[in-house]
Structure 1
Amino acid sequence: MHPPAATVPTVHAHITDAVKAPDLIRLTPHTVLARFETLKIYAALGAVRTLLDRGTITPGQTVVDSSSGIYALALALACHRYGLRCHIVASTTVDATMRVQLEILGATVDQMPPSQDLLLDQERRVRRVRELLARQPDMHWMRQYHDPVHYTGYEEFADLVAAALPDRELTVVGAVGTGASSAGLVLPLRRRGQAVRLVGLQPFGSVTFGSDRFSDPEAIIAGIGSAIPFGNVRHELYDTVHWIDFRHAMAGAIGLLRDHAVFAGLSTGAAYLAARWEAARHSQRTYLILGADTGHRYVERAFARHREAPDPHTLKPHQITDLASLALPWSVMEWRRSPHPPAHPRPEETV
């Protein structure tokens, strides 16, 4: 076979243009992975550009937000591009590699003390942001968890998906997290008339889809769940929800690397595992897996344990019809675009 014809390379004006778009990799005839270096570049760039255009923020101003990792880097890169100052209130999960990058990019960083309690870590971060705003009211709080301005950047990703996968029978499989990537991608596609199903991934212990009564002691799947309600999560967008524990996500990530040579994070591993199961049941659809980041920050606590990881080909979920039946280590339920679980307070009452 002859190699494909070379294309003229693009010279980018800033690193954010080079890394924002994912590599689209066909894993099977009906499964495609969108592999990002950091998915949240779209969210940060779109939010910053929109806020500058509105006059809500101005060059030289300081923006502040809380992050467990990849949004922090995305926001620091967006601020570097547009001449803003950046302050990050970092989760305990932010490692030295990430922190050094943030500091060299000019961001200032407050990092929370070590904690195995997700709720405590998130509450501490929100409290610290409020303290900073009280002292420096000219700071702008980006509120990635609640401000729908973070949807805007994903419209560009939706354009890319629509061009690459024009199939009307599309299922998007990805971590719920803040909810911005799901809403930002799926809403524009559905407005165009595509019959897009949305499958969301959650860890056990997250309030977002009602698994907060559970504890997964090994969980380090940063950013895909929450101990506090997030306003940017649009529950009514989701067709199906999978709850996956650390060991199964680890198995998925290691299986993705072993089977397809793709080195991606734990949320991608969880999405890969869920998409395999979904595709085996409904093979007529096309499945798009959102690979939010690379696997580098999970090397020691996940990939180094590859010999003990279960074989993903042997794993299957516990199928449930209500949250009362939710069970470790992997459950799946048809959410059917239902609204927010009524047992939880509204997001604005919490944060």
Structure 2
Amino acid sequence: MAGNAYRDTTEALLLPRIIRFGQNLYGASFTLMKLVPARHILLKAERTGALGPRTEVVETTSGTFGLALAMQSALMGRRLTLVSDPVIDAALRRRLTDLGARVEICAEPAEIGGYQEARLKRLAEIRAERPDSFCPEQYDNPDNPASYTVVAEHFERALGGVDCLVGPVGSGGSMCGTVGALRSGGRPVTAIGVDTDHSVLFGQPDGTRTLRGLGNSLMPGNLDHRAFDEVHWCTAAEAYAATRRLHARHALFQGPTSGAAYLAARWWAAAHPNARVVVMLPDEGYRYQETVYDDGWLASHGFTEPLPDAPVDVSDPTRPAGRWSRYAWGRRSLAEVIRAAGASEPSREGAP
């Protein structure tokens, strides 16, 4: 058959399914969104010689970027070591090892930067021990946001244009890369980032976060604050409830970062009925069957509060609101926003 008749697993799963939720709201439902940067970075590294014949791939992760790397590394026949922490769930760890990855766990957090900083330090030690290694560096590698050009092109082909893009923010790659590519043609696309309380990404002090998969304890180099028009923060309980609502209303079985993004997107689309809104839904819900999709687990952990109808507007984004909240970021730098709010900029000590 023709050369393009077959696709490998990661290529076949790369682009999201686009699903219409309402008059002007569309969901971009990924099987695993992190395949976009993982595939792009590793194939480019092999093509340019950064990955030699025996080069080992090493990275720090506690979530889906590690799974994407494991899938791509298995297809490429590459050795992979992942540095993680105790928050990694058992089912994900089993899948990683089944794909051939070696998983190291950092048992204790660093005093500043928490587990993410501890993982970065261990990663540096591994790279010093193994000179023939390659790190994708998802937080700082510009190939991460650059890889999402294919997603923006997919949206343009399917929808003929996007007026507003909504999505969770972790490394900054998916939102900054996709919206940057969408705006490259001159279209004034609105970008709404979704974070959670006690994440440093948009100015709050680092703290304990129950909601995983978005937010960060360290400031990634790939996060361009000037890309965002609005930022929303939501709690774990709100994200979980929105995830279940997404499933009940649209039969989409996604993870809690998808629920958090859906919560903000649904509200914004209703307030702007003439705008074509796309919400990024990063991964499927199978890892969360015993947690987010289990009523007993939700009740036992106190995640039963009803969803609010709308976010509260905040004037100081550095103060956690403890509920779904919204700030008009206005495509400004973090320093500009902090000054405008009259707050103190959080320490960057320990940031990569």
Whether the TM-score (by the shorter chain) exceeds 0.5 is: yes
User: 1-side partners of 2:319 and 2:47: how far apart?
Assistant: 47
CA contact (8 A) 2:54 2:132 kept: no
Tell whether 2:66 aligns with 1:72: yes
How far apart are residue 144 of structure 1 and its match? 0.7
Counterpart check, 1:184 vs 2:177: yes
Q: How many angstroms apart in 2 are the aligned matches of 1:113 and 1:297?
A: 22
Corresponding residue to 1:301 among 276, 286, 291: 291
**What does residue 28 of structure 1 align with?**
22
Asked if 1 retains the 8 angstrom alpha-carbon contact of 2:85 and 2:115, the reply is yes
Q: 2:46 aligns with which of 38, 43, 52?
A: 52
In 1, the alpha carbon distance for the partners of 2:121 and 2:207 equals 25
Q: Does 1:230 align with 2:220?
A: yes
When residues 59 and 345 of structure 1 are mapped into structure 2, their CA distance, relative to the original with a 3 A threshold, is farther
Q: Deviations over 1:160-192 (max 9, x none)?
A: 011112135x21110011001112211111112
Shift of 1:67: 0.9
Who is 2:186 aligned against?
A: 193
Residue 37 in 1 paired to residue 31 in 2? yes
Shift of 1:345: 5.2
Instruction: State how far apart, in whole Å, the 1-side matches of 2:148 and 2:314 are.
Output: 32
Cα distance between partner residues in 1 of 2:223 and 2:239: 22
Equivalence for 1:5: none
TM-score, normalised to structure 1, is 0.89
The two structures, once aligned, show a CA RMSD in angstroms of 2.3
Q: Please tell me whether the aligned partners of residues 205 and 346 of structure 2 are also in contact (alpha carbons under 8 angstroms).
A: no
- Partner-residue secondary structure (3-state), 2:33: coil
Shift of residue 98, structure 1, vs aligned partner: 1.5
Quick check: 1:129 aligned with 2:123? yes
Q: How does 1:145-164 map to 2 (within 5 A)?
A: 145-164=139-158
1:88-121 deviations in whole A, cap 9, x for unaligned? 1123232222212211222111123387x99422
Work out whether residues 46 and 154 of structure 1, in 8 Å CA contact, stay in contact via their aligned partners in 2.
no
Decide which of 230, 233, 239 is 1:240's aligned counterpart.
230
State the 1:11 CA deviation: 5.3
Q: Which residue of the partner structure matches residue 82 of structure 1?
A: 76
Query: Which range moved further: 200-209 or 44-53?
Result: 44-53
1:249 and 1:270 in contact (8 A); partners too: yes
Contact 1:66 1:91 in 2 (8 A): no
Match of 1:318 among 312, 323, 327: 312
What is the letter of the counterpart of residue 34 of structure 2?
A: K
What amino acid maps onto 2:224 in structure 1? Answer: R
Contact 1:122 1:228 in 2 (8 A): yes
Which aligned pairs between 1:220-299 and structure 2 lie closer than 5 A? 221-299=211-289
User: Is the Cα–Cα contact under 8 Å of residues 230 and 330 in structure 2 kept in the other structure?
Assistant: yes
Q: Is the 8 Å Cα contact of residues 27 and 33 (structure 1) preserved in structure 2?
A: yes
Contact 2:198 2:320 in 1 (8 A): no
3-state SS, counterpart of residue 21 of structure 2: strand
**2:284 & 2:115 partners in 1: Cα distance?**
23
Query: Residues 31 and 101 (structure 1 numbering): CA distance in 2 closer, same or farther, change over 3 Å?
Result: same
In the other structure, the counterpart of 1:327 is 321
In structure 2, what is the equivalent of residue 336 of structure 1? 330
Amino acid at match of 1:55: G
Name the counterpart of 2:342.
Answer: none
- Aligned with 1:350: secondary structure? coil
| Residue 175 (1) aligns with residue 165 (2) | no
**Runs of at least 5 residues in structure 1 that lack an aligned partner in the other structure:** 1-9
CA distance in 2, matches of 1:106, 1:331: 41
Aligned position for 2:11: 17
Match of 1:6 in 2: none
In 2, distance between residues paired with 1:195 and 1:167?
11
**Structure 2 residue ranges without an equivalent (≥5):** 339-344
DSSP 3-state at the match of 2:193: strand
What letter is aligned with 1:193?
G
Report SS of the residue matched to 2:51: coil
Q: How many residue pairs align between the two structures?
A: 336
Q: 1:165 aligns with which of 159, 183, 190?
A: 159
Aligned AA (2:11): D
Residues 325, 290 of structure 1: alpha-carbon distance in 2 compared, 3 angstrom cutoff: same
CA distance in 2, matches of 1:198, 1:22: 18
Q: Secondary structure at the match of 2:119?
A: helix
Instruction: Mark the CA change 1:345 to 1:324 in structure 2 (over 3 Å): closer, same or farther.
Output: closer
3-state secondary structure, aligned to 2:189? strand
Distance in 2, matches of 1:350 and 1:239, equals 24
Contact (CA 8 Å) 1:59, 1:83: kept in 2 or not? no
Give the Cα–Cα distance (whole angstroms) in 1 for the partners of residues 6 and 289 of structure 2: 30
Length-normalised TM-score, structure 2 = 0.88
Residues 25 and 114 of structure 1: is their aligned pair in 2 closer, same or farther, counting only changes over 3 Å? farther
**In 2: Cα distance, 1:12 partner to 1:118 partner:** 48
